[in-house]
Amino acid sequence: MALSSRFFMTTKYGANVILSSCNGLFRLSSQRCLWGMLNSIFNKFDQNRVNEVGPDRAAAEWLLRCGAAVKFSGYEKWNDDYNSLPTGAKDRYRIEAVDATDSSIMHIGFDHFRGLEKMRSLKLHHATYITDESMDKLEILKDSLEDIQVTSCGDVSDKGIASLCKLCKLQYIFLCDLPAVRDIESVLNTLRTALPNCEVRYLSLEGRKDLRRQLTKNRELIRHFDESNSTTL
């Protein structure tokens, strides 16, 4: 049976759409692969650099290279400019807090946290490459970390959050917008049992379209926002 010209045109158009979509997906996949390779390079741990400048300076270089910000002990100002990192003796500038919002830090770079004896606070918000493996490696900071925020990290599951139980000095945990966490109540109970002296807060976005839009637009979260709607354990 002969095919009509209309059928041929429709099929040809559909094929073009499919080919265009495939090309678009291929380009997107290639871009992600490229960025993944670059981020792996930016996260690479260099022990020689640590030996040369000290753990805090080496960690600061890694964090800023990946788009995070650091605050040094005794200083109020946050530093997010790689070229403006202060210089001095190895023990002069000690990292006290890290804000990894929208950064590309990943688990392969977490060895940079070794030796950060003054680090007390860590904010992981919309950090695309943070996974359960990353959370598990935070045990490196078990002797110093007191405060942590994990929000809008889509690849962190129940297992990753439960890894926080290893951080025995934690005094405050804030969690929000973690779509890979399936049983948040169980996770919160696990944290409460393991860390009885730690305040654990969870802010649910269920029914909170206003806050969800704010997170999407600003990619910034004031963790004490509307604490009356958060769960405290």
- The two structure tokens encoding residue 73: 């002990």
d(CA 142, CA 125): 20
What is the reported pTM?
A: 0.79
Tens of each residue's pLDDT in the chain, 233 residues: 444 433 333 333 333 433 344 454 345 455 556 666 778 888 999 999 999 999 999 999 999 999 999 999 999 999 999 999 988 888 889 999 999 999 999 999 999 999 999 999 999 999 999 999 999 999 999 999 999 999 999 999 999 999 999 999 999 999 999 999 999 999 999 999 999 999 999 998 876 666 655 665 444 544 445 444 555 54
Residue 215 CB contacts under 8 Å (≥ 6 apart), including other chains: 151, 152, 177, 205, 221
Amino acid at 89: A
Cα-only R_g, the chain: 22
**In a 10 Å sphere around its CB, with 0-12 CB exposed, 13-18 middle and 19+ buried, how is residue 12 labelled?**
exposed
Contact in structure between 85 and 60 (CB atoms under 8 Å) = yes
DSSP state of 113: G
d(CA 124, CA 214): 17
What are the start-end ranges of the H helices in the chain? 5-42, 47-53, 55-65, 132-137, 158-162, 184-194, 209-218
Of 171, 151, 128, residue with least CA distance to 223: 151
